[in-house]
Structure 1
Amino acid sequence: MQTIKRNIGDFDDLHFEVDLTQYGKTGSDINDIHFNVKKDIDSSDFLLQKKQSLTEITFTGTTTVDVYVQWAEDEYDNFNNELTYICGLYLMFSGEPSVDLHADQDFNLIFKKRVI
């Protein structure tokens, strides 16, 4: 599992590149995208959730899409720099009832305090 490192207070969008050829889909088949952060893999509660349908995620591309998840500098209250969290990026395709939870888009997420 890949690791994402983020400074507490960062406001740049998270960027993911997703190859849709493994699904036999294109960008026009995407109905929604979810980005979720949990304390651990077994937790059912999201510490942060973003959705394309709520205009918090954008994407561009056709067979390989660039996905941008907005994350404001004031959205770090639920996190500290001493834990590793689990985050995932999940796509929902047209004609499917829910997001694809079998996608290989899970990551470890580590926060660092910004040194200024």
Structure 2
Amino acid sequence: MEWSDLTEGAKAVLEQTRNIKNDKIQIVEFEVGFEQDPELAGDAEPISIQEEDYQSLKRFTKENEYGDKYHMARNKNIVKIILLEKDKIPDNLSDFPVFKEYKNDTVTE
């Protein structure tokens, strides 16, 4: 699956996982059903993450052609996604803070 095949909401999430700096793992957490307030989006298109975006992400993380490995975990409508380093989940994953959240009650940067 290629980048161009992703839905817009899926692209917004994956762009955040690619912000790896200083060998730190980036965890992005989002809520299926998230709708960004247009005022918070500024000049950009508001981010919307719906079930079709989740399905697009799920497919991309299994079939992407870029060699990156991801881990996704879903609990009800809350999903966490991380870009794995060295193809494995760290033993101390809970020690890593969430880098970006897309939830209906909060958006963190």
TM-score by length of structure 1 reads 0.30
TM-score by length of structure 2 reads 0.32
Which structure: larger Rg?
Answer: 1
User: Comparing both structures, which one devotes a greater share of its residues to helix?
Assistant: 2
User: Comparing both structures, which one devotes a greater share of its residues to strand?
Assistant: 1
